């Protein structure tokens, strides 16, 4: 019987050991594959920049979002669409309602059909998305040598280390190192996977003039448009931070009340003492 018990115990320990080893191996393999995928997502891994919104209770920089919209409108919108960002999203974030309506009215939108069954052009409204530079993806490919410019609505979440990657990519153009042969129609950027990207450098000093007078240096332009794209990818960012702050303010008093209530209700039960005093049976007294 003792040998059987020992063998079962050994088998159980062996099974636990095998399960633990398998789990650890699986987690290690998954981590290795994950790191490998992250490494292949970029060429050079971008540096970590001190973005203000990464603080626990910090919001996005709304002045920077407004300037970033100007950069997108005057530079990026020539090739990239933002199909999931609407003019109404700008209201209360970077523009007033009147300003957003004026921005929307600058673009002409195909609508319809009308009463005669025909499509027609009308000024944009708050309910319209930001205008796309091309009518469809095939037209976009034809205009860019077969390369499809990605939609930028969610680009900050579509790339690993999104904000740092976008900023590094926009400011990372330079001549290829010695010994690297240039590729026709491509531009060298070490932060892009493979080192060569179809998009030419788009940001230069003073390429646009900010409405608030901020000096339009290359790094400032890249920072602002990155902030704008980060907001576009998560438009509820600030609301989530506000909800988190409210949670931190409300839960401690609630937990304190529950603790006091628990102590009040269960103090009697936890402090009582139950004693069992067995009495001798009549049979045991005879013996």
Q: What is the pLDDT of residue 15?
A: 72
Contact 100, 88 (CB under 8 A): yes
**Alpha-carbon span 133 to 139, nearest angstrom:** 10
Q: For position 2, what pLDDT does the model report?
A: 41
Give the pLDDT of residue 8: 67
- 203/190 Cα distance (integer angstroms): 17
Q: What is the pLDDT of residue 158?
A: 93
On the question of pLDDT at 202 being above 80, the answer is: yes
d(C-alpha 76, C-alpha 272), whole Å = 74
Quote the percentage of the chain above a pLDDT of 90: 63
Closest CA relative to residue 67, chosen from 243, 231, 194? 231
Write the pLDDT tens digit of every residue in 174-200.
999 998 888 988 999 999 988 999 999
Q: Of 64, 66, 85, which Cα lies nearest the Cα of 163?
A: 64
Report the pLDDT averaged over residues 234-242: 94
Query: In whole angstroms, how far apart are CA 54 and each of 13, 217, 229, 231, 280?
Result: 46, 23, 15, 12, 74
DSSP H or E run through 188: strand 187-188
Which has the higher per-residue pLDDT, 61 or 39? 61
- The span from the CA of 96 to the CA of 86, in Å, is 14
What is the CA angle 113-128-110, rounded to 5? 30
Helices 218-233 and 162-171: crossing angle, nearest 10°?
150
Phi, psi of 77, rounded to the nearest 5 degrees: -65, -10
> Quick check: 219 and 171 in contact, CB under 8 A?
yes
């Amino acid at each position: 019987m003792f040998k059987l018990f020992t063998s079962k115990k050994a088998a159980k320990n062996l099974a636990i050991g095998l399960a633990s080893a398998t789990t650890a191996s699986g987690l290690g393999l998954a981590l290795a594959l994950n790191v490998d995928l992250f490494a292949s997502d970029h060429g050079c891994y971008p540096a970590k920049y001190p973005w203000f919104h990464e603080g626990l209770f910090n919001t996005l920089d709304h002045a920077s979002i407004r300037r970033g919209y100007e950069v997108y409108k005057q530079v990026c919108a020539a090739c990239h669409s933002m199909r999931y960002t609407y003019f109404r999203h700008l209201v209360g974030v970077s523009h007033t309602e009147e300003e957003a309506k004026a921005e929307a009215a600058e673009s002409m939108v195909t609508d319809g059909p009308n009463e005669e069954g025909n499509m027609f052009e009308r000024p944009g409204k708050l309910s319209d998305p930001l205008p796309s530079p091309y009518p469809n993806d095939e037209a976009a490919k034809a205009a860019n040598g077969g390369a499809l410019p990605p939609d930028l609505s969610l680009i900050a979440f579509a790339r690993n280390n999104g904000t740092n990657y976008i900023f590094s990519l926009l400011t990372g153009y330079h001549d290829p190192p010695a010994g690297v042969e240039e590729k026709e129609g491509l531009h060298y950027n070490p932060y892009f996977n493979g080192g060569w990207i179809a998009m030419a450098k788009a940001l230069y000093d003073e390429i646009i003039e900010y409405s608030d007078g901020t000096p339009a240096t290359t790094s400032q332009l890249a920072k602002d448009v990155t902030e704008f794209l980060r907001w576009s990818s998560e438009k509820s960012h600030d609301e989530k931070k506000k909800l988190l702050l409210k949670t931190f303010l409300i839960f401690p008093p609630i937990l304190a009340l529950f603790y006091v209530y628990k102590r009040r209700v269960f103090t009697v039960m936890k402090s009582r003492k139950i004693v069992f005093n067995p009495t001798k049976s009549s049979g045991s007294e005879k013996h």
